[in-house]
Every structure is written in structure tokens, then in C-alpha cells.
Amino acid sequence: MVRPLWSHFSRVKKPYLERNWIDNCAEVFIIQVVIDPIQGKKVEHNGVKVELLGQIELYFDRGNFYDFTSLVRELDVPGEIYERKTYPFEFSTVEMPYESYNGINVRLRYILKVTVSRNYVSNIVEYQEFCVHNYTPLPTINNSIKMEVGIEDCLHIEFEYNKSKYHLKDVIIGKIYFLLVRIKIKNMELEIRRRESTGSGPNTYVETETLAKFELMDGAPVRGESIPIRLFLSPYELTPTYRNINNKFSVKYFLNLVLVDEEDRRYFKQQEITVYRLQETS
């Protein structure tokens, strides 16, 4: 029996990253693999190799992985292992273009796969999954969102959000201004929705989740009233926006403004926003 063991993952110049996720901000990926035979036993093998794989799995096609990244390193030539043996190695200029993602109908993952090839018996294969975070700088252009919506001769409102692009720990600041109110509004709330699209053509699957509901107003507004918005994103489990990842899936975020009248009729206006991961500074 062979027990491939995994040491910590680290980036060059970042030795403290002893965790199962990787900041995709360096060119060299340093790892080590340890193979530890049972005491008094030897392991005959036809070579040891490690693979770094980036894969997408669609749940309606479960079990079939689409590889978008594949790197291989040969760690050892055929021979025998009598005692604990350590293989330090590195992958340089690793292409990890996408963030890890685990959604409703799709999963994007990165794994390290170690294979000890053997004759006459099955190979020994071990996997280690890890997460990748990709960072985006502050956008140079980040326009506000401002729109007027309503129902003719019944309701006319103007809403404004301070930005159209938000990082994961950002704050949405805005206001709702009532220009015309001729229906009895009971309450108003702001929702954060995530829309996941997978596949293409007739095999497209769309799932929408409501991640947050934030009450803006309880009671009837009057003409000229202004309602402030201040919604912190950090408490919610958001991911960055993903657009057409490897032609397999997309993830988009929307702010959904909902008004409910006294007869429980719902009026809403949805607006897409972009979410990104900002590099944290110490």
C-alpha cells in the first residue's frame, strides 16, 4: 500500500498560504508530494506523475469533465520505493484563467492528480482539489445606474444606484424617489438575485436564486418622498460575475426592486450589476 501525502500549497514569495485556495497572482506554483510505503514493504512502479487539471462539470452531464487546463510533470522514472520519498516540484506559468465555482447545475474545479503506475495491479491514484481566486483591479469607469419606471397614470418612480460594478465586500448606495403615487403601496424591498445559465441552445438551463431581501420601506409612500438605500454585500455568499466561461456557463447578478400594494400585487424592476473580486490589502 502506498499513501501519497500532500504538503501545503504555496506560491513563490507567499510561503504562508497554507490553505486549500490559491491566489492566482504568481507565475510559479510550488508543491510537494510524499509517497510513504508501509514499513518493511517495497513498491515497484512504472513511474510517478502529477497532473494539474482545470475542469468543468455540468450536472445534467454528470461524470463528464471538460478539461480547459491540463499540465503534466513526471516525478519519477520506473523503479522501486523502499521508504518515505518526497518529490518537490513546480508548475511554472500555470494557466488558471477562471475562478473556482460550485453552483446549482455546474461546477468548475482545479485538482492535482498523482498517479503511481504499476504492472499487473491497478495504479494508485490520489486527488487533491483546491480553489482559485482571481482578482480584478478597481474599474476605471464605473457609471451610476439611474432609471425612471412606473405604471401609466398610477405609479412613477425614479431609482438610482451609485455604481454599476461592485466588489464582493462593497456597499450599494442609492435612493428611490416617488414622482407619482396613485396606488396604495404596502411595502418595498430590494433583492439580490443570481442567475446561472448552463449549456447552449435547446440544452440551456437557467436557475435563479434570491440571495438577499432587504426591506426599504414599510407603509404607503407619498409623492415627493425619497427612500435611501444602503445595502452591504459582505454578509452574502456572492461570487464574481462570470460571462460565458469556456462556452459552458455564465453567472450574472441583478438588483430587483419590488413594490407590493395592499392587494398583494407585485411590481418590480430588475437591473443587472457586475460583481468582481478586489485584491485585499493588508
Distances (CA, A) of 244 to 98, 139, 197, 236, 261: 11, 20, 9, 23, 38
The pLDDT of residue 30:
75
DSSP state of 162: S
Distances (CA, A) of 41 to 4, 37, 214: 15, 6, 63
Beta-strand relationship, 124-133 and 21-23: parallel
Contact residues for 216 (Cβ-Cβ < 8 A; gap 6+)? 176, 188, 189, 190, 227, 229
Task: Specify the pTM.
Answer: 0.84
Fold of the domain spanning 2-133: Immunoglobulin-like (2.60.40)
pLDDT in tens, 226-235: 999 999 999 9
The pLDDT of residue 267:
86
CATH architecture of 145-276: Sandwich (2.60)
C-alpha span between 105 and 266 (Å, rounded): 29
The pLDDT of residue 23:
59
DSSP state of 14: B
Distances (CA, A) of 30 to 21, 26, 86, 141: 13, 11, 13, 36
Write out the three cell numbers for 172: 450599494
The pLDDT of residue 3:
37
Segments of the chain assigned to CATH 2.60.40.640: 2-133, 145-276
C-alpha span between 133 and 157 (Å, rounded): 39
* Identity of the residue numbered 47: G
Query: Which residue stretches of the chain have pLDDT < 70?
Result: 1-28, 281-282
C-alpha span between 246 and 268 (Å, rounded): 33
Write out the three cell numbers for 280: 485585499
The dihedrals phi and psi of 179, each to the nearest 5 degrees, come to: -90, -30
Give which of 213, 220, 212, 246 is closest to 106, Cα–Cα: 246
The pLDDT of residue 169:
96
